[in-house]
Each structure stands twice: as C-alpha cells, then as structure tokens.
C-alpha cells in the first residue's frame, strides 16, 4: 500500500525537528505559530508567493512550490510574525 504524501505542515514539523536535533513529538504544537490546515490550504492555493512565520526557534518560509526554508532565530527573540505574499 502506498503511503500518502505528507502535508506541508507535517513537512515543516519534520524539517524543524531535523534541524534542531529534536524529536518531532517534543516540539511545541505548530498551532502555536500557525493553524496547520490553514497553512496547507494557503500553500496549495498559491500560484506564486510565500508564507513566513516563526516556529520553535526558526523563521520558516514555505513557497508556492512547497519548498521549506529555515533560518535560525537569534537567541531570546520571541517576536511572533506571520506574513504571506503572493506575486
């Protein structure tokens, strides 16, 4: 039986877990940063653009082609930002 493809939100959690060396189950809920279903729906509907948000010590950017990039946040930076742009 073929395994279903992971959602964007699941892939974000996995990528942050790998980058931080933390088990995915030990990360804070993605919901604390962005609503997972909304993220999946937004990215699926984008023609060209990106969504950026802070999660578990990283600035996360997801592009319309579902590329996920991470940038480690400075220690002690607790700023919460969510931005979406469509070109």
Mean pLDDT of 69-87: 71
**What pLDDT score does 5 carry?**
87
Query: What backbone torsions phi and psi does residue 9 show, to the nearest 5 degrees?
Result: -65, -40
Q: What is the pLDDT of residues 18-77, one digit of tens each?
A: 999 999 999 999 999 999 999 999 999 999 999 999 999 999 999 999 999 999 998 766
pLDDT-based confidence at 4, cuts 50/70/90? Answer: confident
Q: What is the mean pLDDT of residues 3-17?
A: 93
Q: Which pTM was predicted?
A: 0.83
**Dihedral pair phi/psi, residue 32, rounded to 5°:** -65, -25
């Amino acid at each position: 039986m073929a395994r279903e493809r992971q959602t964007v939100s699941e892939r974000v959690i996995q990528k942050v877990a790998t980058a931080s060396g933390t088990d995915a189950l030990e990360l804070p809920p993605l919901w604390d940063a962005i609503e997972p279903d909304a993220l999946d729906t937004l990215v699926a509907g984008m023609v060209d653009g990106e969504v950026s948000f802070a999660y578990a010590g990283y600035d996360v950017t997801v592009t319309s082609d579902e590329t996920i990039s991470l940038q480690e946040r400075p220690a002690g930076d607790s700023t919460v930002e969510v931005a979406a742009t469509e070109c």
